[in-house]
């Protein structure tokens, strides 16, 4: 199984065009780090137990029938392993996977080119699939349903429509916003599944596995300390392993213990619930300036100097999951638990001040 990523080259060149002095070596380093720790089988893929059992059965049935898998849609907050899971599926099916993202498929020829390059049984993974433009989406409809492309030739009165057959393939789409997908596109997926936040126990296993791959010494309590502050997200847990390892190497003997992990994470301004300074600033803003809410997301973004999508995709999912933030028809508001977490002495007293 080989992985071909069509958006790496595009991302690097877009970055160079916007900022010619930026060094894209860091992009390669991060990508290599992610690839080095990605599981290659269901046995090494930690978490998402119910989904794994469903996929094992589906894959086994497809192999016995000697047909490609049904199209799959994975949705949920970022960092939960959607791309990794697609790679595991390709490995188990014994086929190649081509990885791209919706923003990279701006022109019709982009999506047509990648579809025409597919071979029988291959997997096409499209990240952020909710961001596909209308033209690309319409090209996908017959490709997903009938494994064909509808193309036009000629001009004016001589226009003809040709149906070009495609080899049977599997499309795996990933999105953080399943509701943003159009009905016709969503209905063409045979399997739709939400990825859930990880438990601390599962994240502790992720931390120990990553530390083992990177040859980092860590004890059980150190792994639990990192897992506790990882916001239920494997990607964050893996990133924190590197940061805590750096701290342990400089400030101690290189071994990650509970004490070292807690000290390192305190330096990084990550509290015991995994909230960073941006999360806490968001909650404090709503409490101090807007009486705990409700307040619109655009107002929050402007006041914090953050992008709306950053707040919606990065900050909010975990704050909502943790019960610290609430969405209402009138906007966002904090919960009583947020007052307690931020050490506001009395929730009722704080409310009465406004």
- Three-state SS for 6-69 is CCHHHHHHHHHHHCCCCCCHHHHHHHHHHHHHCCCCCCCCCCCHHHHHHHHHHHHHHHHHCCCC
82 a catalytic residue: yes
Q: Which helix (H) or strand (E) holds 80?
A: none
CA distance 136 to 100: 13
Q: Which helix (H) or strand (E) holds 305?
A: none
Catalytic residue among 6, 38, 82, 231: 82
Catalytic residue among 84, 170, 175, 176: 176
The helix/strand/coil state of 162 is strand
Catalytic residue among 83, 170, 210, 257: 83
- Tell which residue, 255, 247, 251, 314, has the closest CA to residue 282: 314
Catalytic residue among 6, 38, 84, 127: 127
Query: Residue 282 in contact with residue 333, Cβ under 8 Å?
Result: no
235 a catalytic residue: yes
Catalytic residue among 235, 279, 332, 333: 235
Query: Residue 176 in contact with residue 82, Cβ under 8 Å?
Result: no
Asked if omega into 294 is within 30° of 0 (cis), the reply is: yes
Phi, psi (deg, nearest 5) at residue 201: -65, -45
210 a catalytic residue: no
Tokens 């349903």 found at: 145
119 a catalytic residue: no
- Three-state SS for 218-270 is ECHHHHHHHHHCCCCCHHHHHHHHHHHHHHHHHHCCCCECHHHHHHHHHHCCC
| Catalytic residue numbers, as ranges | 82-83, 127, 176, 235
């Amino acid at each position: 199984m080989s992985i071909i990523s069509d958006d790496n080259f595009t991302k690097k060149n877009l970055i160079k065009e916007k900022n010619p002095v930026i060094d894209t070596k860091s992009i390669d380093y991060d990508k290599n780090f992610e690839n080095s720790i990605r599981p290659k089988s269901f046995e090494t893929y930690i978490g998402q137990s119910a989904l794994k059992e469903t996929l094992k059965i589906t894959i086994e049935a497809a192999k016995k029938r000697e047909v490609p898998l049904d199209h799959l849609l994975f949705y949920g907050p970022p960092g939960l392993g959607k791309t990794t899971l697609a790679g595991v599926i390709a490995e188990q099916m014994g086929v190649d996977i081509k990885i791209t993202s919706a923003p990279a498929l701006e022109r019709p020829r982009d999506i047509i080119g990648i579809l025409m390059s597919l071979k029988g049984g291959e997997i096409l993974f499209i990240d952020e699939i909710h961001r596909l433009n209308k033209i690309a989406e319409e090209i996908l409809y017959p490709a997903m349903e009938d494994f064909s492309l509808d193309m036009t030739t000629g001009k004016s009165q001589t226009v003809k429509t040709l149906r070009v057959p495609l080899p049977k393939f599997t499309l795996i789409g990933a999105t953080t916003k399943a509701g943003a997908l159009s009905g016709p596109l969503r209905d063409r997926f045979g399997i739709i599944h939400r990825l859930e936040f990880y438990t601390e126990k599962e994240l502790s296993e992720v931390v120990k596995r990553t530390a083992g791959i990177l040859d980092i010494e860590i004890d059980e309590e150190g792994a639990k300390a990192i897992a506790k502050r990882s916001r239920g997200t494997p990607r964050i847990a893996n990133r924190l392993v590197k940061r805590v390892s750096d701290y342990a190497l400089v400030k101690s003997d290189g071994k990650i213990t509970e004490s070292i992990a807690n000290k390192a994470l305190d330096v990084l301004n990550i509290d015991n619930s995994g909230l960073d300074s941006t999360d806490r600033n968001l909650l404090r803003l709503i409490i101090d300036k807007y009486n705990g809410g409700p307040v619109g997301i655009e107002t929050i973004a402007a006041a914090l100097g953050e992008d709306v999508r950053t707040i919606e995709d990065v900050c909010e999912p975990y704050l909502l999951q943790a019960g610290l933030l609430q969405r209402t028809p009138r906007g966002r508001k904090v919960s009583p638990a947020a007052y307690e977490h931020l050490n506001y002495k009395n929730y009722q007293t704080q409310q009465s001040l406004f």
